[in-house]
Amino acid sequence: MSTSFQHIMPITFDSGEEGPHLLILAGVHGDELEPVQVGLKLTTQLAGAIKIRKGTLTIVPIVNRPAYKNKSRTAEDGLDLARTFPGRKEGSKTEQIAWEISQLIRSVDFLIDMHTGGKTYEIYPLSGYVLHRDEKILEIQRTMATTFGLPVQWGTSPELNGRTISVARDAGIPAIYTEYGGGGQQNEEIVEVLYEGCLRVLVELKMIPDRKMHSPEPQYIVEDTREASGHLQIMYPSPLKGDFITHAQLGAMVKKGDLIGEVHDSKAGKGVEISAREDGLLFLIRRRPFVNKNEATAGILPITQPGTITLP
Ligand SMILES: [Zn+2]
C-alpha cells in the first residue's frame, strides 16, 4: 500500500495471521514532538523485541513531514491539517497529506491519533473520541480510551469535522485521539506513558501477547454532546491582544471565579483578568505568552470529582 503514497510513509507490520488492522498516527501537527517519538519507538520495538502475532499494525510516525521539518504546527501553506480532512488529491500539500491519510484510515479497522498542545498549549493527559451515533462503535471507542489509560476520557460532539477522527467516524471505524503535554518542551515521561498506552490497546486487540500491564481506570469521564465541545482553540478566548500570564496550575481543580491568568496590554498599560466561569478541572493552559484577541487561554472540563459526567 505504501507505494501508492507521495507524501506519507506508513510502516506496516503484518503478522500474516488474520486479525484487526490498527493504525497509529503521530505528528499531524509538526510541533507535537512526543507522539512522533512514540511512533518511532513502536516502529523500532516491533521490528525487534515485540512481535505482532495477529492482524496488522500500520504506523505513520510523522504524518505532517513538511510541518515537522519546520517544527511548526502547519506546513508552508498554513492550513491546519486537523481541520483539512478528508483533503484533496490535487490540493495544496496539506490537502494532499490529508487525502492520503484518509485513504489509509478507510483501509483499517481501528485508529489512534496522538497529539500534544504543541508549542502553544499544555494539555492534561486525556483520550478523546466522538460521541458516535452508532452505539456499538461508541462503546468500542470508550473501551479503547479506557484501555489507553490516561486519567481523563472525553467524549465530544460528533459534529466536529476536518479531523482524522471525523474521517474514521464517517467510515464507521472506531477511533480515539490522545492529548498530553506540550508547551515547547520535550518530556520523556510523556513518551513512556503514550507508548504504554499504545501497547495496552495492542494487547486488548490480542495483536501482541499480554504484557501484564496495569491498566489504570480513567478518573474522569466527560461526555459532552454540545456542538463545539472538543474544539480547544475557542476556549476562554483572550479579550485582547497582549501577553498572557498564567496564575493557575494545569490539572488543578478550580472554582468558578478563580483567577486563571491575565492578559496584559503593554501599550495601554493594563491587564484583564481571566477567571473560571465554572467549577472543574483545568485541563488546558496557554504556554505561549503572546496572545491574539480571541485565541484560547485555558480550558476547563466541568467535572469536580472522579467519575462520569454527561453534558449538557
Ligand atoms: Zn495536534
pLDDT in tens, 40-71: 999 999 999 899 999 999 999 999 999 999 99
If you measure from the C-alpha of residue 288 to the centroid of ligand 1, how many angstroms do you get, rounded to a whole number? 15
Number of independent structural domains in the chain: 2
205 part of a folded domain: yes
If you measure from the C-alpha of residue 170 to the centroid of ligand 1, how many angstroms do you get, rounded to a whole number? 20
Same domain, 145 and 30: yes
Alpha-carbon distance 256 to 254, whole Å? 7
If you measure from the C-alpha of residue 29 to the centroid of ligand 1, how many angstroms do you get, rounded to a whole number? 5
Alpha-carbon distance 118 to 45, whole Å? 26
Cell output for 167: 474521517
Determine the average pLDDT of the residues in 68-84. Answer: 96
Helix 135-148 × helix 188-204 angle, to 10°: 130
311 part of a folded domain: no
Nearest in space to 39 (alpha carbons), one of 68, 63, 67 = 63
Same domain, 212 and 254: no
Alpha-carbon distance 116 to 129, whole Å? 15
If you measure from the C-alpha of residue 178 to the centroid of ligand 1, how many angstroms do you get, rounded to a whole number? 9
Q: Residue 215, Cα to own-chain centre: how many angstroms?
A: 19
Nearest in space to 108 (alpha carbons), one of 20, 169, 176, 18 = 20
CA dihedral 15, 45, 22, 4 (to 10 degrees): -80
pLDDT, mean over the chain: 94
Same domain, 137 and 261: no
Task: Please give the residue range of the domain that contains residue 288.
Answer: 235-305
- Looking at residue 1, what is its pLDDT? 44
Same domain, 80 and 164: yes
If you measure from the C-alpha of residue 189 to the centroid of ligand 1, how many angstroms do you get, rounded to a whole number? 18
Same domain, 24 and 171: yes
Same domain, 192 and 265: no
Same domain, 43 and 138: yes
Same domain, 112 and 196: yes
Q: What is the pLDDT of residues 220-260, one digit of tens each?
A: 999 988 777 777 777 999 999 999 999 999 999 999 999 99
Same domain, 170 and 258: no
219 part of a folded domain: yes
| Ion ligand 1, residues whose Cβ is below 5 A away | 29, 32, 115
277 part of a folded domain: yes
Of 203, 224, 245, the last residue of a domain is: 224
DSSP 3-state percent helix, strand, coil across the chain (nearest 5):
25, 30, 45
Residue 306 DSSP symbol: S
Same domain, 149 and 267: no
- Looking at residue 233, what is its pLDDT? 73
Determine the average pLDDT of the residues in 147-153. Answer: 96
State the pLDDT confidence band at 269, using cuts at 50, 70 and 90: confident
100 part of a folded domain: yes
If you measure from the C-alpha of residue 25 to the centroid of ligand 1, how many angstroms do you get, rounded to a whole number? 11
310 part of a folded domain: no
- Looking at residue 276, what is its pLDDT? 95
On the question of pLDDT at 89 being above 60, the answer is: yes
If you measure from the C-alpha of residue 276 to the centroid of ligand 1, how many angstroms do you get, rounded to a whole number? 24
Burial environment of residue 286 by CB neighbours within 10 A (0 to 12, 13 to 18, 19 or more) = buried
CATH number at residue 240: 2.40.50.100
- Looking at residue 227, what is its pLDDT? 74
On the question of pLDDT at 2 being above 50, the answer is: no
27 part of a folded domain: yes
Same domain, 154 and 266: no
Of 172, 204, 224, the last residue of a domain is: 224
Of 224, 249, 283, the last residue of a domain is: 224
Alpha-carbon distance 311 to 109, whole Å? 29
Determine the average pLDDT of the residues in 179-202. Answer: 95
Q: What is the pLDDT of residues 96-129, one digit of tens each?
A: 999 999 999 999 999 999 999 999 999 999 999 9
Same domain, 247 and 216: no
CATH number at residue 58: 3.40.630.10
Alpha-carbon distance 237 to 263, whole Å? 11
262 part of a folded domain: yes
